[in-house]
Structure 1
Amino acid sequence: MGKRGRAVAALRERLPLWVQLRCGLEPKTLGALAVVLVVAAALAAQHFWAARPRSVSAPETVSAAVPAAGAPSEAAPGALLPQAPPLPLPPPSGTARVVVDVGGKVRRPGVLRLPPGSRVADALQAAGGVEPGTDLTGLNRARVLVDGEQVVVDGPVPPGAVGPGAVPPGVMGPVGDGGVAGAGPPGVPVSLNTATQAQFESLPGVGPVLAQRIADYRAQHGGFRSVDELREVSGIGDRRFADLQPLVRP
């Protein structure tokens, strides 16, 4: 018996009894059975190899790009789209306003709401303009408005107020004997927001030092909103304020 015969006999002994009886222990049958077993073992090995645990990486995030005007909306396959720029924030719902009270010789006096940075001229225009014949000599129309202030247009200059030796309101005149430079017509209150240094000095109890303090306070705080703010100026007490209150206006 050769090597092949011994191998077949050894394989035959290892097969189960029902296989030996069913296959008839023919060499061809044993060879086919061996091939089937080898193929089954290979398939089992492949199955276990494919089912082994493996690490999986997270997919990359691709941001959608906003197509430009006139550009095609479809991108090339496999191309990464650029990240869309952030959208601009919407403007704030409430815009700051300057609230002023315009009165006097204007067509539509009342409380106005104007954009920040508006000037006296803008307030007069929003109030419909001044009445015909109104004198604006003592009104600084280029001054920036302050929230909460009052703008009063005095009206036309009384007849005979402008003449020899008379000084119109808001215009500085020469200092003479017994006169005060910059003094306006009698009975007209001095505007704290437009008066000159000389007009401040024309008030009772106000000298050059106190007049300068009033002007400095006006420049630092953007003007006077009311006459009561005079109390905050250094050197003006209750007694002096009582004297000045009927003679001045914002």
Structure 2
Amino acid sequence: MSATPGPDPRRARVRRLAGVALTLVLAGLGIAVFVTAVTPRGSSTVIAPDDGATGVPTAAVIYVHILGQVARPGLYELPDGARAVDAVAAAGGFTEQADAAGLNLARFVSDGEQIVVPAIGEATTAAPGIAGDGRVNLNTADAAALDTLPGVGPATAAKILAWREEHGRFESVEDLLDVGGIGEAKLDAIRDLVTV
């Protein structure tokens, strides 16, 4: 009667090495996913101004002052087209006392804007779309804020919002002339009351 051959030690060793290699690859992927998940988005970076020597234009940046219930209140440089969520991320995120629902994180922010993140139970300091200086921001205002402007009723406010939805951000106050129902006279009446 012949003996059944035992397991090949070389095969067992190869399987163990393959198992160890697979475990290391999976651990590395897990660490990469974790680091990506906890890295804040919209962090501020310093971009050197274009001195014309390279001929390469620099990216447009804006400055946003964020304070209130964030980890690191301050002035942050963000790329043009950034949203409120990017400003919060640049400031280290919300504190435990922050009323995250008190801020529209999806709205675009504009250059020179001040964002105040309220504490839970604290009233916000300005209506949505109203800049720190009291002017109506054409890129963030809702219909109610636009309706506060002289000569702008619900119909014109709806046209402004529709234009913004179709074309994106207002680059200048003069872009209002592209909105149906707004001519030179109406623009002159509201020019000092709005910002972009």
Q: What TM-score does the superposition give when structure 2 sets the normalisation length?
A: 0.48
Q: What TM-score does the superposition give when structure 1 sets the normalisation length?
A: 0.39
Q: Which has the bigger relative contact order, CA under 8 A and spacing at least 6?
A: 2
